[in-house]
Structure 1
Amino acid sequence: MKFFRKIRQKLVAKNKLRSYLLYAVGEIILVVIGILIALAINNGQENKILEKKEQTYLKGLQGEFEISKQKLVKLIEINRRNYIGAKQILEFTTNLEVAPSEEQFSNLLYQSFSFDIAFNPNNSLLNEMINSGSLKDITNPDLRIYLTNWISTLDDIAGQEQDLAIEREKVLDMFRRDENSIRTVFEYANAKQQVSFPKSDNTISNLNLLHSVAFENNMFMFYLTSYSTEESHYNPLMQNLNSILKLLEAEIKE
């Protein structure tokens, strides 16, 4: 800076106003260029920090959604087994001339009603990003939209699962009456290998349920709700999940 100051002093001393003005303009331009270069370097560094942060988020989200996909695949399998078993039971209520054995009926009941349905995805990182406002750090707009809609979609899924749980309980409630027996289901089905209890000397048959209109109605509602859960909710959810994973993979840099 002393060098430039000496030049200005010489120009002023020699009364070279025009040269001095040109020099001043040039000096201003140099200062502006220097500022722009500094800003560019600073912006470049900030962009690298943001890019690194985004990549960390993307890889974390990829891990979460991969686990969620595995959970959803397993849940779809369980739900499908449930409604297939329910459909087989309904076939027996429709054609009473072909009655199942107690063991066959118990196995179908155990297959269809042993496990409730609830999707529990891994969303800890996504929730953290939403709550902290870090979702804006995801530069791909399509991916941001998918991630934002994911949470609201899960609320819809939870509502459907609650409806299914209600229909499931209506069927199970029929085994809490004196004329039917949950013990019989456990004794004849494979469940007896998992739960240890004394065998009853007085086995109550559940085959009378096949003649019950109330039982058939409850089974129909359970089957329809369970089938709808897969077709109208889980399958679209899987499509969204796969779309998210595809976008994540495209954005992640090796």
Structure 2
Amino acid sequence: MRYHQPSPTYAVLAPFALFLGALGLWWLLCALHKLPATVFPTPSDVWHGFQEEWRSSRLWQDIIVSLWRVAAGFSLAVFLGIPMGLWLGNSPWVRTALLPIINFFRNLSPLAWIGFAITWFGVGDPPAIFLIFLSVFFPMAVSVASAVAAIPEVYFRVAHDFGIRGIRRILLVTLPAITPQLITALRVTLGIAWVVLVAAEMVGTRSGLGFAIYDDRNALRQDLLVVHMVVIGLIGVFMDKLVLQLSKSPSVQWGYRN
């Protein structure tokens, strides 16, 4: 039995109602001293902290820096990871030889490379971009390879009968067929990149949202800590929604109908 999808109104009101409920519970626990100020800040403290960050313009500077690092590392990883995945998926011989190595690095936490990243690139943008690249490239390559390997062989036989070969087969058959899996891989890896960025900025940089979290902790400013946590989460949700919009484009619907 197929259930009806929630209406657009419900999709907006339900999360908003849950947000208000969580905010009310937070305020109530603080008012009843179940959450002492030394343990967790009150909603009013967080609001005042947000106003402080807003007026100082530091918040916007950190957001811009962090988004730039994610855009650079993520774009480079996607630009190289998708072709690698297509190569692995289209060639069983290459896939058998390289996939174990790629899986090894995929299962190795990018944060394990922090020491090398700082040694090789110093501090600033390069080490953070390098760690983001590592966090995206290997999962992207494996996801694309798996999607390509799962394409029904009949698609390629029909393409061969119509004289569609080489790069035209990739553009007209392979990429449209893996569109759903590719969009899912983009969403997942972008989330990973955003998480890794925050951790990388705590160690190898002196700016960005990750460094702001580290600085707030050292200064014992739990109000600002929550402010930056909320900003990080909201930006992550926004980026996920942005990538999800790709699936609604008419130019990529071919893969969803198969």
Which TM-score bucket, shorter chain as reference? under 0.3
TM value normalised by structure 1: 0.26
- TM-score, normalised to structure 2, is 0.26
Higher-RCO chain (CA-CA 8 Å, sequence separation at least 6): 1
